[in-house]
A and B are shown apart, each in its own frame.
Chain A
Amino acid sequence: MRGMAAPGSKTLIVVPAFNESEAIGDVVGAVRAEMPDADCLVIDDASTDDTAAIAAARGATVMRLPVNLGVGGAMRAGYRWACERGYDIVVQVDGDGQHPAHEIHALIADLEHADIVIGARFAGADGAGARGPRRLAMWILAHTISRIARTRLTDTTSGFKATGPRAIRLFARNYPAEYLGDTVEALVIASRAGLRIRQRAVAMRERQGGTPSQSALRATVHLMRSCLALCIALTKPRASIGPAWSSTEGLVVS
């Protein structure tokens, strides 16, 4: 046993992907090699390239969104699928290949003591590697969310996450699609709903193409949007975990 949360628990690896035809094959391959017993669900966020075909050829189950929804929308669909299909663990792995598949076991092992485990980049040094407004934004986000979650978090915008059954039920209904909604706001929602969040330091690979923008203007805009997202998330009404998701929820005419 490789430290699963509970023996025999069903695990789903969710890979949100938008035009990732270059990286998706290796991501699915690595996930399938590391986690042969888990199911791998690639959520193709209305890609215009052959992301879906490549993922399917490498053995993943592919859910194709007919309209581009962003990571938040893709992940909520993933959580809904997991909830409906009775999965106990969902691990989010981004389709661009920056999340190391061999760390998935470690994240899942930590679920024994938590509902959400974040795979954090540069854990230990807040915002190391970033400067100016971007670093300030990281610091504000990390410190505010650490206080709400009552645990030390350094990387709140990481998409590499393992979630247990309670978090899956919560996220099937409440997973924001806005800016930073899938990372920062989701963490705020989870900790305010009483879920336990932990982080685990993870060495991430470089992005496969496309460097994050470092321009001062962009960084300042990012800072302002993060603060706004944080303020809104903190003042929203609390969400409760709720029962298991059913496939007709939200579509039943009342």
Chain B
Amino acid sequence: MSATLYVFGIVAALAVLVVIFMLLRRGTLRERHAVWWFVGGLLALIVAVFPQLLAWTARLIGVEVPANLIFFVAIALLVLLSLQHSAELTRAEDRIRTLTEHIAMLNLRVHQLERTEEKRDGEE
């Protein structure tokens, strides 16, 4: 492996981590959503710094081409993240539903109160 490729790998992994950190700092990304992205970035950095580690792990598990191990881990991570997002979406929808119901009920109560108020004013 050439030195440029080695440096490129480290720089790319670091860039990902820096971007995640910046997003967290600006409040664009919440900590609990960033965890898995952070894990991914860290794994990429470790593999970029110690490529032997990848080859060793691949041999240990029995993966013939070490790059396939990267693809496997990356896809697994993305699938998990996607699932997490779907679950979060469901939770968010549920909250919207509860809030919608509450707003509708409050609206009706205010409307009824206003009507009784008007009636009372009319009688006076």
Q: Which residues of B contact A80 (CB under 8 A)?
A: 101, 105
A77 touches B107 (CB 8 A): no
Determine if B86 is an interface residue (Cβ-Cβ < 8 Å).
no
Q: How far is the CB of A176 from chain B (nearest CB, A)?
A: 10
Q: How far is the CB of B42 from chain A (nearest CB, A)?
A: 34
A63 touches B105 (CB 8 A): yes
Interface-side segment among B5-13, B20-28, B54-62, B92-100: B92-100
Report the separation of the CA atoms of residues A64 and B108 in the bound assembly, to the nearest whole angstrom: 8
Find the B residue at minimum CB distance from A73. Answer: B97
Determine if A247 is an interface residue (Cβ-Cβ < 8 Å).
yes
Determine if B102 is an interface residue (Cβ-Cβ < 8 Å).
yes
The contact string, 1 if C-beta is below 8 Å from chain A, for chain B 81-124, is 00000000000000011101111110110001000000000000
- How extensive is the interface on chain A, given as a class? 10 to 19
Q: Which residues of A contact B105 (CB under 8 A)?
A: 63, 77, 80-81, 84, 247
Find the B residue at minimum CB distance from A72. Answer: B97
Find the A residue at minimum CB distance from B96. Answer: A67
Determine if A66 is an interface residue (Cβ-Cβ < 8 Å).
yes
Report the separation of the CA atoms of residues A187 and B118 in the bound assembly, to the nearest whole angstrom: 42
Determine if A253 is an interface residue (Cβ-Cβ < 8 Å).
no
- How extensive is the interface on chain B, given as a class? 10 to 19
B108 touches A66 (CB 8 A): no
Report the separation of the CA atoms of residues A220 and B40 in the bound assembly, to the nearest whole angstrom: 41
Main secondary structure, interface of B, reads helix
The contact string, 1 if C-beta is below 8 Å from chain B, for chain A 165-192, is 0000000000001000000000000000
Report the separation of the CA atoms of residues A62 and B100 in the bound assembly, to the nearest whole angstrom: 15
Determine if A19 is an interface residue (Cβ-Cβ < 8 Å).
no
Q: Which residues of B contact A73 (CB under 8 A)?
A: 97, 100-101
Find the A residue at minimum CB distance from B107. Answer: A64
B97 touches A177 (CB 8 A): yes
Determine if A232 is an interface residue (Cβ-Cβ < 8 Å).
no
Report the separation of the CA atoms of residues A81 and B112 in the bound assembly, to the nearest whole angstrom: 13
The interface centre, meaning the residue of A43, A77, A84 with most chain B CB atoms within 10 A of its CB, is A77
Q: Which residues of A contact B96 (CB under 8 A)?
A: 67
Q: How far is the CB of A206 from chain B (nearest CB, A)?
A: 31
Q: How far is the CB of B58 from chain A (nearest CB, A)?
A: 39
Which residue in A66, A84, A247 is a CB contact (below 8 Å) of B100? A66
The 8 closest A-B pairs by CB, nearest first: A77-B101, A67-B100, A63-B108, A65-B104, A63-B104, A73-B97, A65-B100, A250-B98
Other than the known A65-B104, A77-B100, what 14 A-B pairs have Cβ atoms closer than 8 Å? Answer: A61-B108, A62-B108, A63-B104, A63-B105, A63-B107, A64-B104, A65-B100, A65-B101, A67-B100, A73-B97, A76-B97, A81-B105, A177-B97, A251-B102
Interface residues of B (CB under 8 A from A): 96-98, 100-105, 107-108, 112
Can you list 11 residue pairs at the A/B interface with Cβ under 8 Å?
A43-B104, A63-B104, A64-B108, A65-B101, A67-B96, A76-B97, A76-B101, A77-B104, A80-B101, A81-B108, A247-B105
